[in-house]
């Protein structure tokens, strides 16, 4: 029986992901590994799994003597030197849709915070004031999503635009 491939999980991923890897590979967690330790030990691994904090530079990749795969848990591979990996025949793979739902939810959360003036109200509260009326914000109910202004009831918002009824209210 052949020896199992060694995988370094350099950054935090879900425990279920680590468990799945362990079913097929010898897995080491290097979450606390310094850049210097990574430089010394990267040659011991057949694969590495990173997120966005680890930068795989040409110097690191040059030392990855056994490396066959670099896995990026997330979108993009801007933290991996692709030409250096290609030169060594190392496959670089990412999971571009792994955080799409989280990113969409975060976008909605930020938009709702802006509509309701949460950052400004928080700043006021931290400064020791409670300016409730000043930071009332706008309700989304019955608003036209095609209008992108964030200030409610401004005269400019009441102009009829493409697809908008004259006098329609927008944010």
Establish if 30 belongs to a structural domain: yes
The reply to whether 45 and 107 lie within a common domain is no
Measured distance CA(141)–CA(55) in Å, rounded? 45
In a domain, 166, yes or no: no
Percent of residues, the chain, with pLDDT higher than 90: 61
Mean per-residue pLDDT for 80-96?
96
Q: Within a domain: residue 127?
A: yes
Task: Give every CB contact of residue 171 below 8 A, 6+ residues apart in sequence.
Answer: 115, 138, 140, 143, 147, 148, 149, 150, 151, 152, 157
Same domain, 53 and 93: yes
The domain tally of the chain equals 2
| Mean pLDDT of the 140-144 span | 73
The verdict on 21 and 89 lying in the same domain is: yes
Cα within 13 Å of Cα(91), Cβ side: 7
Which pLDDT does position 148 carry in this prediction? 54
Comparison of pLDDT for 167 and 140, the residue scoring more: 140
What is the average per-residue pLDDT within 123-142?
85
Residue at which a domain ends, from 49, 74, 98: 98
Same domain, 18 and 89: yes
Residue 120 has pLDDT above 50, yes or no: yes
Examine residue 11 and state whether it is found in any structural domain, yes or no.
Answer: yes
The answer to whether position 40 is within a domain reads yes
Q: Is residue 45 part of a domain?
A: yes
The domain containing residue 129 runs over which residues?
Answer: 101-158
Structural domain includes residue 119? yes
Q: pTM, whole model, 2 decimals?
A: 0.65
Which tokens belong to 85?
């990996």
Query: pLDDT tens across 13-71, in order?
Result: 999 999 999 999 999 999 999 999 999 999 999 999 999 999 999 999 999 999 999 99
pLDDT of residue 151 exceeding 50, the answer is no
Residues 6+ apart with CB under 8 A from 118: 112, 137
Q: Is residue 80 in some structural domain? A: yes
The pLDDT > 70 percentage for the chain reads 82
């Amino acid at each position: 029986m052949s020896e199992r491939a060694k995988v370094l999980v350099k950054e935090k991923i879900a425990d279920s992901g680590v468990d799945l890897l362990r079913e097929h590979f010898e897995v080491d967690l290097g979450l606390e590994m310094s850049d210097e330790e990574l430089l010394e030990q990267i040659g011991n691994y057949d694969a590495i799994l990173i997120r966005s904090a680890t930068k795989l530079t040409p110097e690191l990749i040059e030392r990855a003597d056994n490396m066959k795969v670099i896995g990026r848990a997330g979108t993009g591979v801007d933290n991996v030197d692709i030409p250096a990996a290609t030169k060594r025949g190392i496959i670089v793979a990412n999971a571009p849709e792994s955080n799409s739902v989280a990113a969409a939810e975060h976008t909605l959360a930020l938009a709702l915070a802006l509509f309701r003036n949460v950052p400004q109200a928080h700043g006021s509260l931290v400064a020791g004031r409670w300016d409730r009326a000043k930071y009332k914000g706008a309700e989304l109910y019955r608003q036209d999503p095609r209008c992108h202004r964030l200030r409610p009831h401004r005269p400019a918002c009441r102009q009829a635009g493409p697809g908008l009824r004259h006098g329609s209210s927008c944010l």
